[in-house]
Structure 1
Amino acid sequence: MDQPAREVYHFKDKEQSSNLLLQLNRLRQENILTDVLLCSDNTEIPCHRNVLVSSSPYFRAMFCSNFVERQQTKIDLKGITSTILSSIIDYVYTGLISISMDDVLPLMQAASMLQYGRLFEACSSFLQKQLSPDNCLSMIRLSDIMSCKSLRDKAKEIAMKSFCDVSISEDLCELSLPELMGYLEDDSLCAEEEQVFETLVAWIHHDPLSRRGAISDLFKKVRLRYIHPTYLFQFIANDPLIQSSTLCTELIESVRRLMFSVSTKCSGDIAADFKHPWVAPRRYSYHDMLVVVGGRKNNEQTSREAIVFDERSQMWQWLAKLPIRLYKASYVALHSVLYVIGGLTTNPKNSEVSRTVYTLSLKTNHWRTAEPMLEPRFAHQSISYLHFIFALGGLGPDRRLTGSVERYNSMFNLWESMAPMPEAVLHPAVAATNQRIYMFGGEDAMHNPVRMTQVYHIARNMWSKMENRTVKNVSAPAVVMDEKIYIIGGYTRRMIAYDTKANRFIKCANLRERRMHHSATVLSNKLYVTGGRYINGHDVIEDSDAFECYDPKTDTWTSKGSLPYKLFDHGSVTLTCVSQTWSKS
């Protein structure tokens, strides 16, 4: 017959190991069975060899190998104070220790020497909690001395994320040239390129006699393409340090030629020394955000609201309000600054057509006025290209349709008149790419749709036009992705993409409703559409709070939720900021 299976009970006493350590500590305190004395500063601490051997590779090697200490009953530990040694022995027998700023460094050194790895990392964790922009550079030096990678990594992370604060510290000026170069060339550095330049200048001025010769090597680490032209050509170019270096002045002139050529295609001809500052990618810390501004809110009144969508958190947040209510202003981004141009002021007593320009950057979250346009206008279009902003058409002070065009040059902070458009139209779809501005459709003064594409050649200041039966859009935005211009809706569900190279239109996935007076921008290689008005199934026009995303790779639309309120005739732009410097109001 089969024997019945024996029942086995596996017992684990969870308190055994802690009780054993507790009893060993009592034996030590009562000097029972101790067989070695650890000595420091004329202080003798009785211990058990087997406990020390079990706790540390250092003591295992000392007592289990052919070292002289194996036969000794007194061991003199040099370089460790009696207080620190006593704390460590208490830690060995109890697992408990107190770490403070007064003793963390000698404790860390002793833990390293005696090979108590977890205690060493506990000291590192304590120091990491004390890290700040003021001390992170000195902590990096300390971590190098201590060979503590975890502390170094955390201190380096703080230095990179808080570089704007770190850059004004005395510790930064003490960096060696290779150390500073390491920071400035790092893609993850959280700093605008203007700050990078100011940092290298301050570093050189700290010791000009020995450091002046490093200017050209350091300047090549500044990514000139992402610096505002006014700052680059008026401030940096006139800096005495830059003017003292032939290579630096040639770098700036190279960038100037590239910008004035009104072409992004000639960068392939740049000399090797000039190539990296021009073609280097923006740093990882630069963060694109979608900003929605102005328009008609909840069909009640012209809105002063400005809100920002952070793709990482998928949250909307409020920015500073526009200083004034503006009806049918135009909205455009240039050099990571939002421009609100013209519009009709909505003062009940005296509304007037404006030529004022307001600007907002995410860095300051503060509205300023910029150089005003030459002509007042509203219901117009604005588009940016390289360092220019073009204001096109709209309605003038007499409320009549105008075909006039003016251009803002951000290098010289001035507006200038350009060639007028061949046919004045309202509410066309406008986009700029490959040295040209494309203006699709719109409506004439009698509100009839215009089936026409008008093309402006930026470098030649010349217009051309062509009839096109495919074009029939009014109050539709347009955006550029992968050298295609996407025209989104406009009293229709249809979205089409114009291939500028092949000169042909491509049909894309339809919108969910017939949409108009909405806005669109590109974020992370996807098209985002906000608000507008739509025609419902009963042919009734309604306001929308829709927030939708189009992926050109899959030709599909996805809902991203909704705006905080219904909105149309607003602006939607993409602004870039260094995420650590954005301040909320």
Structure 2
Amino acid sequence: MALCESLKTLQGFPFRDPELSSLLLSQLNRLRQERILTDVLLCSDNTEIPCHRNVLVSSSRYFRAMFCSNFVESRQGRVDLKGISPDVLSGIVDYVYTGAITISMDIVLPLMQAASMLHYGRLFEACSTFLQEQLSPDNCLSMIRLSEILHCDSLKEKAKEMAVRSFSDVAASEDFCELSLPELMCYLEDDRLCAEEEQVFETLLAWIHHDPFSRRGAIHDLFKKVRLRYIHPTYLFQFIANDPLVQSSTLCTEIIESVRRLMLSVSAKCGRELKPLWTTPRRYTCRETLVVVGGRKNNEQTSREALLYDERTQRWQWLAKLPLRLYKASYVCIHSILYVVGGLSLSMASGDSSVSATVYTLSLKTNQWRTAEPMLEPRYAHQSVSYLHFIFVLGGIGVDKQISNSVERYNSMFNQWEAMAPLPSAVLHPAVAANDQRVYVFGGEDAMQNPVREIQVYHISRNLWSRLETRTVKNVCAPAAVIEDKIYIIGGYTRRMIAYDTKANKFVKCENLKERRMHHSATVINNKLYVTGGRFLNGHDTIEDSDCFECYDPKTDVWTSKGTLPYKLFDHGSLPLVCVSNRPNPP
């Protein structure tokens, strides 16, 4: 009696047999093979496969509808499955009774069609996975067509991903030339397309030339898929504008002329027809990367190094070295090309130095340095800033060793430099930024090394300077960077960071730097401010070089560390360069 009472108090013992389902399926398959209790024959051509109705009904909505409704098959002992070959039907029945099947290239397509017809969804997706593993640039366009016939979204998405990621190889394939116009349009407008816009244009030309008689009329519709804003002006106005196919289309030439007017007149507004084409964002695969170049390395010597920071791996990659050491050159980026402008060229052999007017350029596509059109005047310790298709070079020190107030402008449309209105006040080491048709020059120091408390504003379209005195500005050797309509001035012998609101014409205080920083560099990537290197005053008021790498988010007003540079660095350039990656990074 006591034992029974104690057993009542014990909790129930939940038992689950993990092998029962597989054993049951195995036994059912053996019954099928021995034709025990089978009650229906699935037939294809002259092949008959005995099965159990209840197993088929349990495995597929197709057979449930067939055998559990008033269809004539529900009363028949023999069901003919037309359109399914004996081998495929036998494989599917084996799969139903065992959960296993071998998929090969010989049977994958008829197997996929049968799986779709008979409502075996997991088998259908297994076939899709098999085909995805066979994807290559040579067959991905065919796979897209196949996926549309089979209504297979998973295969279609993977094939499209392969097509846009391997654009160069796919564009050279035979299948590409056979694309229909709607297919090509859809392909070229994909934001994931891994290509520069120049290549997009050349590809659509190749497609037209494959069958010029019937395709030449498509040039205008295809041309609108090219994102003209991100094409180098020289390529646009010398190569594209002069292409016979483009010239044969009035609508294409009108688009190019609208772009030309917009670029020639800085103050011009984008027309209604051009606006959708001009404001289209970059493709996802065109991502901004941080490049650090030049400067003084480890306080030893002027550096020839150029480094690229990979945000995904959070590692630095070494690019091609500058051709020579340049002290206090300026650094600027335009049209995804890095420009190193002027500087004091140093000869390690003789120890001599000379002020340079040379301009060096680096493209990530080639990773090679080239010389560009030289400046009108040699200079170093100057500032450079880009705006639209212009590079502005301001001040610095010339061959006479005097502080210069001269300004010159490089026009990338015409590949030429021209002298512009000089600075009202000649200053060294100001913070310079361009926004909304203006170049802003904040602070700096005069020839006597006194801080200059003023903002000098250059009106680009009018080639005219104005000055605004302000007690807020007191920066020397501080960089400036633009995010939306705010210009951020970062440090400059101070921990302070302030933002100048160009619309409201007022300063806003931001979160301070950790140390008093100068001779550092800053740039903007994805609306965040990245600050690299520089020099700082430690707690003992001693100047030290820095390998600091920090990021500022204006939305949260918070600084975060991004680790360190590979070495201590100051007086260097820090710039955003766009590179094409076959690993899309959607915003």
* Residues 143-174 of structure 1, C-alpha deviations (whole Å, 9 max, x = no match): 11111121112212222333333233222222
Match of residue 130 from structure 1 = 134
Q: CA deviation at 1:127?
A: 0.6
Checking the alignment, whether the CA contact within 8 Å between 1:377 and 1:395 is kept in structure 2 is yes
Q: CA deviation at 1:436?
A: 2.1
Q: Distance in 2 between matches of 1:571 and 1:279?
A: 29
Match of residue 287 from structure 2 = 287
CA, structure 1 residues 307+5, in 2 after alignment: closer, same or farther (shift >3 Å)?
A: same
Count of matched residue pairs: 578
* Residues 422-467 of structure 1, C-alpha deviations (whole Å, 9 max, x = no match): 3332212111122222222222334333334333222233334454
Q: Distance in 2 between matches of 1:51 and 1:209?
A: 59
Q: CA deviation at 1:7?
A: 4.5
Checking the alignment, whether the CA contact within 8 Å between 1:493 and 1:513 is kept in structure 2 is yes
Match of residue 150 from structure 1 = 154
* Residues 38-93 of structure 1, C-alpha deviations (whole Å, 9 max, x = no match): 33342333333332232222233333333343444433333222222222222122
Which amino acid is 2:437 matched to? Q
Match of residue 395 from structure 1 = 397
Match of residue 37 from structure 2 = 33
Q: Distance in 1 between matches of 2:393 and 2:275?
A: 33
CA, structure 1 residues 383+41, in 2 after alignment: closer, same or farther (shift >3 Å)?
A: same
Match of residue 363 from structure 2 = 361
CA, structure 1 residues 581+355, in 2 after alignment: closer, same or farther (shift >3 Å)?
A: farther
Deviation larger for 212-221 or 359-368: 359-368
CA, structure 1 residues 321+66, in 2 after alignment: closer, same or farther (shift >3 Å)?
A: same
Out of 217, 222, 226, the residue aligned to residue 226 of structure 2 is 222
Out of 404, 407, 415, the residue aligned to residue 413 of structure 1 is 415
Checking the alignment, whether the CA contact within 8 Å between 2:537 and 2:544 is kept in structure 1 is yes
Which amino acid is 1:82 matched to? P
Match of residue 184 from structure 2 = 180
Give 1:164-179 correspondences, 5 Å limit: 164-179=168-183
Which amino acid is 1:141 matched to? R
Residue 274 of structure 2: SS of its match in structure 1? Answer: helix
Residue 390 of structure 1: SS of its match in structure 2? Answer: strand
Unaligned runs of 5+ in 1: none
Out of 496, 499, 515, the residue aligned to residue 517 of structure 2 is 515
Checking the alignment, whether the CA contact within 8 Å between 1:37 and 1:75 is kept in structure 2 is yes
Residue 347 of structure 2: SS of its match in structure 1? Answer: coil
Match of residue 534 from structure 1 = 536
Which amino acid is 2:533 matched to? G
Checking the alignment, whether the CA contact within 8 Å between 1:330 and 1:382 is kept in structure 2 is yes
Match of residue 8 from structure 1 = 12
Residue 31 of structure 2: SS of its match in structure 1? Answer: helix
* Residues 240-297 of structure 1, C-alpha deviations (whole Å, 9 max, x = no match): 111111111111111111111113x612xx13x3221112233333312222111111
Checking the alignment, whether the CA contact within 8 Å between 2:112 and 2:127 is kept in structure 1 is yes
CA, structure 1 residues 473+134, in 2 after alignment: closer, same or farther (shift >3 Å)?
A: same
Match of residue 377 from structure 1 = 379
Q: Distance in 2 between matches of 1:581 and 1:240?
A: 35
Match of residue 194 from structure 1 = 198
Checking the alignment, whether the CA contact within 8 Å between 1:345 and 1:352 is kept in structure 2 is yes
Out of 94, 109, 118, the residue aligned to residue 90 of structure 1 is 94
Checking the alignment, whether the CA contact within 8 Å between 1:363 and 1:581 is kept in structure 2 is no
Checking the alignment, whether the CA contact within 8 Å between 2:234 and 2:413 is kept in structure 1 is yes
Residue 280 of structure 1: SS of its match in structure 2? Answer: coil
Q: Distance in 1 between matches of 2:557 and 2:57?
A: 67
Out of 226, 242, 248, the residue aligned to residue 244 of structure 1 is 248
Match of residue 269 from structure 2 = 266
Q: CA deviation at 1:469?
A: 3.7
Which amino acid is 1:476 matched to? A
Give 1:38-49 correspondences, 5 Å limit: 38-49=42-53
Checking the alignment, whether the CA contact within 8 Å between 1:326 and 1:344 is kept in structure 2 is yes
Q: CA deviation at 1:233?
A: 0.9
Which amino acid is 2:545 matched to? D
Out of 437, 441, 461, the residue aligned to residue 459 of structure 1 is 461
Checking the alignment, whether the CA contact within 8 Å between 1:220 and 1:276 is kept in structure 2 is no
CA, structure 1 residues 536+212, in 2 after alignment: closer, same or farther (shift >3 Å)?
A: same
Residue 558 of structure 1: SS of its match in structure 2? Answer: strand
Residue 497 of structure 1: SS of its match in structure 2? Answer: strand
Q: CA deviation at 1:489?
A: 1.6
CA, structure 1 residues 13+363, in 2 after alignment: closer, same or farther (shift >3 Å)?
A: same
Checking the alignment, whether the CA contact within 8 Å between 2:194 and 2:580 is kept in structure 1 is yes
Residue 582 of structure 2: SS of its match in structure 1? Answer: helix
Deviation larger for 90-99 or 77-86: 77-86
Checking the alignment, whether the CA contact within 8 Å between 2:165 and 2:583 is kept in structure 1 is no
Checking the alignment, whether the CA contact within 8 Å between 2:440 and 2:458 is kept in structure 1 is yes
Residue 445 of structure 2: SS of its match in structure 1? Answer: coil
* Residues 171-198 of structure 1, C-alpha deviations (whole Å, 9 max, x = no match): 2222222222222333343332222222
Deviation larger for 425-434 or 68-77: 68-77
Unaligned runs of 5+ in 2: none
Q: Distance in 1 between matches of 2:58 and 2:534?
A: 73
Which amino acid is 1:136 matched to? C
Out of 24, 38, 63, the residue aligned to residue 59 of structure 1 is 63
Q: CA deviation at 1:380?
A: 1.3
CA, structure 1 residues 511+10, in 2 after alignment: closer, same or farther (shift >3 Å)?
A: closer
Which amino acid is 1:139 matched to? M
Residue 354 of structure 1: SS of its match in structure 2? Answer: strand
Residue 70 of structure 2: SS of its match in structure 1? Answer: coil
Match of residue 298 from structure 1 = 298
* Residues 520-575 of structure 1, C-alpha deviations (whole Å, 9 max, x = no match): 11122222211100111111000011122233334343333322221100001112
Deviation larger for 390-399 or 519-528: 390-399
Which amino acid is 1:45 matched to? I
1:22 maps onto 2:26 in alignment:
yes
Q: Distance in 1 between matches of 2:216 and 2:55?
A: 59
CA, structure 1 residues 328+39, in 2 after alignment: closer, same or farther (shift >3 Å)?
A: same
Match of residue 496 from structure 1 = 498
Q: CA deviation at 1:332?
A: 0.5
CA, structure 1 residues 497+76, in 2 after alignment: closer, same or farther (shift >3 Å)?
A: closer
Per the normalisation by structure 1, the TM-score is 0.92
Match of residue 548 from structure 2 = 546
Q: Distance in 2 between matches of 1:212 and 1:323?
A: 46
Give 1:324-343 correspondences, 5 Å limit: 324-343=324-343
Match of residue 319 from structure 1 = 319
1:572 maps onto 2:574 in alignment:
yes
Tell me how large the CA RMSD over aligned residues is: 2.4
1:162 maps onto 2:174 in alignment:
no
Q: Distance in 1 between matches of 2:118 and 2:330?
A: 69
Q: Distance in 1 between matches of 2:229 and 2:583?
A: 20
Q: Distance in 2 between matches of 1:355 and 1:237?
A: 32
Which amino acid is 2:70 matched to? N
Residue 471 of structure 1: SS of its match in structure 2? Answer: coil
CA, structure 1 residues 541+92, in 2 after alignment: closer, same or farther (shift >3 Å)?
A: same
Q: Distance in 1 between matches of 2:113 and 2:501?
A: 66
Checking the alignment, whether the CA contact within 8 Å between 2:338 and 2:362 is kept in structure 1 is yes
Checking the alignment, whether the CA contact within 8 Å between 2:140 and 2:160 is kept in structure 1 is yes
* Residues 402-427 of structure 1, C-alpha deviations (whole Å, 9 max, x = no match): 33322111011122222332333221
Q: Distance in 1 between matches of 2:467 and 2:14?
A: 89
Match of residue 563 from structure 1 = 565
